[in-house]
Amino acid sequence: MHSTGNKILIWLRLVRMPNLLMVMFTMILVRYGLVQPLIAHLPGTIQGSHRVVPGLELVMADWQFALLVVSTMLITAAGYVINDYFDTRTDLINRPHRVIVGNEVPRRSAMALHIVLNVLGVGAGVGLAWAIHFPFLGFIFFLVAGLLWFYSTTYKRQFLIGNLLVAFLTGLVPFMVVLFEVPLLNRIYSDIMVQYHASWSPVLIWVGAFSVFAFLLTLAREIIKDMEDLEGDMSFGRSSLPVVLGMDITRVIVIVLIVLTLFLIVYVWLRFLGDTPTMVYISALLILPMIWLVIKMIRARKPADYHAASLLTKWIMFAGVMFIVLVRYLLTAMIQ
């Protein structure tokens, strides 16, 4: 029998608590590290001169933002649970020592938890949408919960669709912040934005850049995980990239995605930034690790090699999110 402490740890493993904390951390950093300083230094023009649009502050209340974060975390957790529920057989081949559903947690309990998490998450999200008087935004939560269900039951077994879906939903996490904040900002500050001939484009571009970064690296990581899980996917007839195209072609695709991400990072620095602190950060924590990731992918041949590459990709994504801390410092320095 498991002790109470062990049971709690098992449930936390099931919902991938470190990943959920990363979702929370990302959304907090995007709001207070990107959106807040960007709107405080939003460029505009008036009477032919370039000026900063004055007096812009975050509009969404802290409790409303907290509700957005909690809702996103709950729906994400529900997605992890239902994925494990339907993946039990393949996981017994690919990673038998990490199987939870049907082993440490009864299948019926896992399904019940999935339902509860989804009801709470979607309910909180819809409630938030009504509270800020943009009820149509509530459909996002229904859509995400539905996509995660169909990913686990159908899309994951289809060629590339499941990989693209997970990458899209990961890229959506930082963008959820502006999806809810910008409409409120526009409702309050529309007159002053017109007066200063300003737009919310800088906010959307900055957050969008982080979303693209998350999308590309998540797509690469999902394909790497498919390479790690080749044996189980072949046994159950899944149409993953390695099964359909073979390991060599899949390896090339992953390397292309990594190099593309690397190119975009360097391009953005050269074209739009050019400062020394950013150059040092991206060189040490993004560029060099991504070059090492390419080398690891070239050398990888065993499941353990692909697992190590997957973990490295995850750490690069974390470094990318942490870059927001430096961005906030630079933007704040510009304001002062």
The first and second tokens of residue 51, run together, are 């000026």
Nearest to 208, CA basis, from 268, 160, 165: 268
| pLDDT, position 1 | 47
Q: Assess contact for 50 and 201: CB atoms under 8 A.
A: no
User: Percent of the chain having pLDDT more than 70?
Assistant: 98
pLDDT digits (tens, 9 = 90+) for 34-73: 999 999 988 888 877 888 888 899 999 999 999 999 999 9
Map residue 50 onto helix, strand or coil. Answer: strand
Torsion of the alpha carbons at 84, 86, 88 and 89, rounded to the nearest 10: -150
Mean pLDDT of 193-222: 95
pLDDT digits (tens, 9 = 90+) for 92-115: 787 777 788 888 888 999 999 999
Mean pLDDT of the chain: 92
The first and second tokens of residue 226, run together, are 């498919």
| pLDDT, position 91 | 74
Amino acid at 48: G
* 3-state percent breakdown (helix, strand, coil) of the chain, nearest 5: 80, 5, 15
Alpha carbon distance 274, 237 (integer Å): 49
The first and second tokens of residue 176, run together, are 């959820």
Which of 314 and 49 is assigned the larger pLDDT? 314
Alpha carbon distance 57, 60 (integer Å): 9
- Please, how many CA atoms are within 13 Å of residue 177, restricted to the half-sphere of its CB? 28
Alpha carbon distance 116, 75 (integer Å): 10
The first and second tokens of residue 327, run together, are 């961005």
Nearest to 79, CA basis, from 153, 136, 188: 153
pLDDT digits (tens, 9 = 90+) for 228-246: 988 888 887 788 899 999 9
Alpha carbon distance 59, 325 (integer Å): 21
Regarding the domain delimited by 200-336, which CATH topology (the fold level of the hierarchy) does it fall under?
Four Helix Bundle (Hemerythrin (Met), subunit A) (1.20.120)
Residue 43: strand pairing partners: 52
pLDDT digits (tens, 9 = 90+) for 133-155: 999 999 999 999 999 999 998 88
H helix or E strand, kind and range, residue 68: helix 62-86
Mean pLDDT of 292-304: 95
